[in-house]
Structure 1
Amino acid sequence: MRKAGHAADDRSDGEPCAQRVQRKTGPRSSVRSCPVPYLSFASNFMWVMIIGIFGPSLPAMIIDLDISYTRAGLFFTVLSLGSLVGTSLGGYASDYINRKILFSSIALMLSAGLVFAGLAPTYILIILFIFMLSVAGSPSGIVGQSIMLDMFPEKRERYLAIQMFFSSLGSFCAPLLVALNYSSGLSWRWSFFETAGIVILLLPFILLAYLPKVRAQKHQRSKLISILSDRRIQLSALFLFLYMSLDIGFSYWLAEYFSSELHASMKISSAGVSIFLLGMMTGRLTTPRLLGAVKPRKILLFGLAFALASLSVFLLARPVPVKVAMVFFYGLGLAPVFPLLMARGTAVFPDRPGTVSGFLFASVSLGGMVFPLLFGAVAEGIGIRRTYFIVGFIALGLLIALNRWTAERPQPSKNIHDTG
């Protein structure tokens, strides 16, 4: 028979891990003693690294498969389409299904999908396997985030900012991996195989980690419409959708911009993406420290304004070193926007972290599906440089809208038991 103490740890309505550790060892020990934040950080690192290998691999894939910009943009569109489905279902499932089984299955299917995509000999088969791995693997970050928010709601902004730092770290490591493969004479396909191995490394930590049982009950599933129809959730989803045009819409074509517009080598083109991500990492590493002294609204608006100014200089300047510097500053300013928008959205229904996170990430996936393909089609006619001016106009509109929307402090909704 199991000991009573162990039974108490596993109760679906029992004391959260974070509170239990704080009660026993003090508040400063909660993160070190409870592995879930790190597991969430690692899962987001993993998924974003997978996304990140596509951009710097794009020039080689275009040559190898002999495809146009529009067809190349379809890679990320299909990846985002699968993610749209996967994150929606995975976020909802994480509030109701055994999280350890769900998490482990995601890791296994994602690793297999990466191997198959790397082995696929034709454009059509690559598209097919990209869609499959996206549906199966995209919920990895959502499941980790939902558990983290469920256990540490009072540290929402701080932990989401740290989580986004690890996401940026994954994006930063991806082009370095691709560049290393190029330097070693390996094809773009090796990046898929190597990333699959990284995914497998996460599996033992999932199996060994303490993951609290779900707290949502089956009879509450009908309340999903109450969440999706909330105006604050809808606005959060819209702004995150538009944000993706500034993030992935810019970075996805950055390597090709350096290659076609500046006639740089593939190594330098991949390094350009890394510089953007280095700015992202720096900003997201700084954001948690700033949150203790500066209001989130000010960080959000100033960051977006700084990114817009940097993008303007990037587009108008001619010297390559200035462009490179502005790529860094653009990422630096853009860094706090995503985590602070996500924190604001998930705070509306704190007792449904998985469902809300899944819906918000679905809008992120939709943006990732639309903007690379859209910008690729536009670039076919006017070039990538002029297409980036569209990014600037979107950033300006988003800045104006967020200035008005964030003027009012968000208030959590009533408990989901009482809504709908």
Structure 2
Amino acid sequence: MKYERIKGTNDIFGPEISYWNFIETKARKTSELFGYGEIRTPIFESTELFIRSVGEETDIVQKEMYTFVDKGGRSLTLRPEGTAPTIRAFIENSMINSGLPQRFYYIGPMFRYERPQAGRLRQFHQFGVELVGSAEPSADAEVLQLAKAFLDSLNLRKYKIYVNSIGCQKCRAHYKSALKQYYAEHYEEICDDCKRRFETNLMRLLDCKKDFEIAQRAPKTLEYLCDDCKRHYDQFKSILVALKVSFEEDGNLVRGLDYYNRTVFEVKHELLGAQSTILAGGRYDGLCRELGGADIPALGFASGIERLLLAMKSEELQVPQQSQCDVYAVVLESNALVRAFEIATTLRNHGVVVVTEINSRPVKVQLKHANRLKALVAVIIGEDELSKGTVQVKDLVNQNQSEVEFEYASDYVLDLLRANGRKNQ
């Protein structure tokens, strides 16, 4: 029987891995430069965690979660997002005792049952950050500044930052009243999903792609902000201006999860079409309290790695390809294997990628495999070399070959790589 990968998942290998490693390395480095430390949470959590945090009436909970009952009769869910698990871990492990604010970042797989398409898979991967313990606009600015620094480190240029404020519970109530009145007048024109949202998740009406024109004419959240929320939003924007972080206001920008309040933002890439959002986030000041912890403000963002990869390729950005093989050790005699391993160990200690022949194959087959791996140098050890205490060193680029005494072989290979500018030892 031939097995195939599950729909909505991908195998990641070969040259593609270099893009993933590049993005993940930049995510770690940028986060750590801002003082954020890595956190790793389980891939599955209690289903109730996501219902309480994300919202029972959101599309994620209603349609998209991978939920199952384990042998103990507990309802578990593969994590659809990273914020709720991070806050759960913060509360459960009493991290507040280490002082506030605290800064976290994570990289890992998430799971949602959606229609697979470019940049949207059922198992996808996110890089995200969470800043726990500050209600100040400066925290919002820091998180967005980190997001921009990360995207710039990938050499992306064709993106735009959009910001908005959706207010607090107090001013949002007035806004929802105006929004409901507006959509009631257009109820017969909206799609079936929006008719459901009209009753259950009103602000998600603004995010509908089918009813885009109706959403564009809807009341704006900024028109209903209370004085505190307006002051917070204005200070946030003024810091961005001072930092020379370019942004545009989008009065229709909302987030799809219930826990968001006040500042929200998205970054869209102009070459990706319908799936253009490559990073999004905002403030979620009530989530810690909702999940059983203290009333601690927090905010963060998440970025889809698959989307970032598409954005990089759309801009034709290249990343350094990881070498599969710098040196190939050709073994022509079983007794030569230990000698080959000794040279390989010495070279690896100098950062050289060495592949040693472990099958008994003719020399032509071994050299053909070395070329397939794009090896730069071959070290050849056979019966004659063993008897003389030497090795053959072949430059596979220039096709030059020299016989070298065994004890000098590693240094000779290192010099050869340096001389050709192919390895900075």
TM range (shorter): under 0.3
Q: Which structure: greater helix fraction?
A: 1
Q: When the two structures are superposed, what TM-score results if normalisation uses the length of structure 1? A: 0.23
Bigger Cα Rg: 2
